Amino acid sequence: KAGVTQTPRYLIKTRGQQVTLSCSPISGHRSVSWYQQTPGQGLQFLFEYFSETQRNKGNFPGRFSGRQFSNSRSEMNVSTLELGDSALYLCASRYERGLAGVDEQFFGPGTRLTVL
Amino acid sequence: ILNVEQSPQSLHVQEGDSTNFTCSFPSSNFYALHWYRWETAKSPEALFVMTLNGDEKKKGRISATLNTKEGYSYLYIKGSQPEDSATYLCAQNTGFQKLVFGTGTRLLVSP
């Protein structure tokens, strides 16, 4: 079974631009979560989608948004990029068996975003 | 606000040493605790998902215990090998479909 894939793997943008990152979950997984990691910080939860609906959102400004498609693929978008948005963005998928939080999350390799 | 803490921040041991790390978390609203291993340039890999007080789980030379009443979990590695070098993360889930991660323990095992 193919793992979680993320594209692109590396991205360089300038301040003020916007960026879209893509995540394809493991086949059959309907839950996709996004996380941000910056130097010195743990993984910070951005949001989670399930069946095309955002179920939960972390403490990030409205410049961070996402969506999920009917095939469970997900995108996250960051508008008006700031230097502090430079980070590794990870997505994770999960096969939800009905007890949320108990299932393993399977992570992708991440997208490294650099904002200049 | 959840605060998951891990100690130590980093650890350097010799091949063959046994070692352990601690994950502390708020004991209220506990739902599950996850352990991950994250090797450089790879994806975080799930090790254990633990839900019940007193849970003990084992995978090869790695094991973990859970105390939900006092809010801590221990991860043990027996006979460390250089391939165990990685960052070990714990994360708490309070049932709202999100994981709150600690900052990790970075383990380096020298041959």
pLDDT digits (tens, 9 = 90+) for A39-64: 878 899 999 999 999 988 999 999 99
| CA count, 13 A, side-chain hemisphere, A82 | 6
- The full DSSP string for A53-83 is EEEEE-S--TTEEEEE-TTS-EEEEE-S--G
Look at residue B104 in the predicted model and tell me its pLDDT. 94
Q: For chain A, what is the radius of gyration of the CA atoms?
A: 14
Mark yes or no for CB contact A109/B104 under 8 Å: no
Residue A100 to residue B95, Cβ atoms within 8 A: yes
pLDDT of residue A70: 95
* Contacts A–B by Cβ distance under 8 A: 66
Q: What is the DSSP string of B11-72?
A: EEEETT--EEEEEE---TT--EEEEEEE-TTS--EEEEEE-STT-EEEETTEEEEEETTTTE
Sign of CA dihedral B30, A92, B46, B19: negative
Band (pLDDT 50/70/90 cuts) for residue B1 is very low
The residue of chain B with its CA nearest to that of A5 is: B43
- Is pLDDT at A88 greater than 90 in this prediction? yes
Instruction: Give the Cα separation of B79 and B19 in Å (integer).
Output: 8
Q: What is the pLDDT of residues A89-110, one digit of tens each?
A: 999 999 877 655 577 889 999 9
Q: Which of B37, B43, B105 to mutate to test the interface with A (most CBs of A within 10 A)?
A: B43
Are A3 and B43 an interchain contact pair (Cβ–Cβ within 8 Å)?
yes
CA distance A49 to A23: 12
Contacts of B49 in chain A (CB under 8 A): 102-104
